[in-house]
Chain A
Amino acid sequence: MHPAKSVIFFTTASGAGYGLLTLIIAANMTGLFPEVFWLGFAGYFASYVLITAGLLSSTFHLGHPERAWRALTQWRSSWLSREGVMAIFTFLPTGLYGLHQLFFPEISPGLMALIGLVGIIACGVTVYCTAMIYASLKPIHAWANAYVPAGYLLLSLMTGAVLLNSLLALFGYAEVIVETLAILALVAALVWKVAYWRFLDNTRSISTPESATGLGEFGRVHLFEAPHTEANYLMKEMGFQIARKHSAVLRKIALGAGFILPFLLILLGMYVGGFMAMMTASLAVIVMAIGIVTERWLFFAEARHTVGLYYGAAHA
């Protein structure tokens, strides 16, 4: 599948934003979040910048961005529509909770805890809807499986935890629980990613050139002549080839930068502490960003679509 830059940025940035938002609310509800106005402000600000920039960028690849509002109407059947509705709804409880945390912490804490909980659930449901846009596409074997929603949720939490850790470190409030959470999330996500790639390498779509043409009973089927001498929309959009050539190298970059290096950096930060911890925590965010963008690029580029079977692919 063609890896559109806007969609890669959307899924990674908004995923990280929702993860960060969830953890800030959860940390505040459990009394772990330091009661420092500018720290809280920076946290909510970073979350909403990531979420909003991601959502806006997702409209850039549309043929008619000015009609994007129509995408909110078909939530009964479309995961893309559900994602849009949930993304907008999520601003409400999380925003209310944020105002409460920053400006009016003493007002009705019971009700606000409930609103915070709704906000956390809404963040999770929004990320789940994003994942289901892909996981609901049956023609794409790499996406239509349970690994995909699990991975989106896990990576959202992981990127959010690494961000929160750097934020706390930058303000000088490094927290062992958050550092531990970030490390555990990195390990869990790493295990998930390796398992996902193993699944991708060892399984294939149930559709074949034989089932695509229905000519299997006559023998083995392969393309003799394509309909055109030139590439067409389907081949450009669904038949993306570049990643497969370099996938081994790119996977190493994704694993190293996305998971292993941030893990080591945060571990180092826990050991040395102080100013160095601030540096390692920030560096972990930068390195992780490179790794996660590579990971998401591969998620698209490595995925094969059944339409390829009509254009010479031996499997999908």
Chain B
Amino acid sequence: MTSLPKDPPKKKLGLVIDLDICVGCHACAVNCKEWNSGGHSAPMTDTDPYGADPTGVWFNRIHSFEVENKQTGGRTVNFPKSCLHCEDAPCVTVCPTGASYKREEDGIVLVNADHCIGCKLCSWACPYGAREYDEDAGIMKKCTLCVDKIYNPNLPEESRVPACVSTCPVGARSFGDLGDPESDVSQLVASRGGYDLMPEQECRPTNKYLPPRPKRQGGETQSAPELMPVTDSSAGVIARWVDKFLSA
């Protein structure tokens, strides 16, 4: 159970996140919370939600990073992060109870809420911080890749994607089978140089990130003319005196 599947899953469902497109609106995180509050891992408990120090369970979070570079100038990159459904998922192998498992059929990493003892070791083992502890339920929770949505026959075909993907207003998130080199997501990763986060941790994450495109150089862009100040400094003594008097 807690061991990883003997034959690595052929199907590897996962997300491709385009850092060039993401505008950091947090809509994916909000819709994630919305869907999962009624789904497989519900509820997504909040502690002190309307108080001074609210905290709660989130499966998806949007960070913003600044990249400093004297030559090319800095850039700000919005950075959504959720479970990467790793092929060598350390959160699965450290689990002492077998509650944490990786599905053979599609590679999704899930937690069995009835078996989890809430020892938190999986959250220590995950280098990415994809694991959450639910204080109320006393168990670990995590992104399910909306397993209760993507296979749901009651939903129209086009809605059978994770909540974060269906809600993204700019199309920065794609969902598909990363185990199939012919799939749209695999083609996208290949054409844009998609990469793994922290490959040195050797978890072999399924989710891929697409780098921001290089900035356009040279004369391709034209700046708008500089704005002129609204106040007219050449106003006469009386006008300036009136302005000073009324502004006081």
Please report A residues at the B interface, Cβ cutoff 8 Å.
Answer: 1, 61-65, 67-68, 70-74, 76-81, 84, 133, 136-140, 206-207, 209, 211-215, 217-228, 230-234, 236-238, 305-307, 310-311
Contacts and interface: CB of A to CB of B under 8 A. Distances in A.
Interface stretch (B7-15, B34-42, B50-58, B240-248): B50-58
Interface stretch (B88-96, B183-191, B231-239): B88-96
Contact of B77 (A213, A232, A306): A213
B79 A213 contact: yes
Contacts of A206: 200
A62 B97 CA distance: 12
B167 interface: no
Contacts of B75: 218-219
A67 B202 contact: no
Nearest to B75: A218
B95 A220 contact: no
Nearest to B133: A233
Nearest to B2: A74
B226 interface: no
Contacts of B127: 138-139, 207, 305-307
B172 to A, nearest CB: 15
Contacts of A64: 116-118, 138-139
Contacts of B26: 227
B103 interface: no
Nearest to A215: B67
A46 to B, nearest CB: 28
B62 interface: yes
Interface string B108-134: 000000011111110111111100111
Contacts of A70: 96-99, 115, 117
Given A64-B139, A81-B2, A140-B124, 20 more contacts: A63-B116, A65-B117, A71-B96, A76-B2, A77-B95, A80-B119, A81-B97, A136-B125, A139-B127, A209-B65, A213-B77, A213-B197, A215-B211, A218-B72, A227-B58, A232-B56, A305-B124, A307-B127, A310-B128, A310-B129
A235 B54 CA distance: 14
Interface residues of B, number: 69
Interface of B: 1-3, 19, 26, 29, 53-58, 61-69, 72, 74-77, 79, 81, 90, 92-99, 115-121, 123-129, 132-134, 137-140, 195-202, 209, 211-212
A217 B125 CA distance: 27
A224 B54 CA distance: 22
Nearest to A139: B127
Given A71-B117, A230-B53, A138 B202 contact: yes
Contacts of A224: 64-66, 76
16 contacts: A62-B118, A68-B117, A72-B96, A73-B2, A81-B96, A84-B96, A137-B94, A219-B69, A219-B75, A220-B67, A222-B65, A230-B54, A232-B56, A234-B129, A310-B63, A310-B81
Instruction: Give the residue among A61, A68, A139 with the most B Cβ atoms within 10 A.
Output: A139
Contacts of A225: 63-64
Contacts of B201: 138-139, 207, 306
A222 B95 CA distance: 32
B159 to A, nearest CB: 26
Nearest to A80: B96
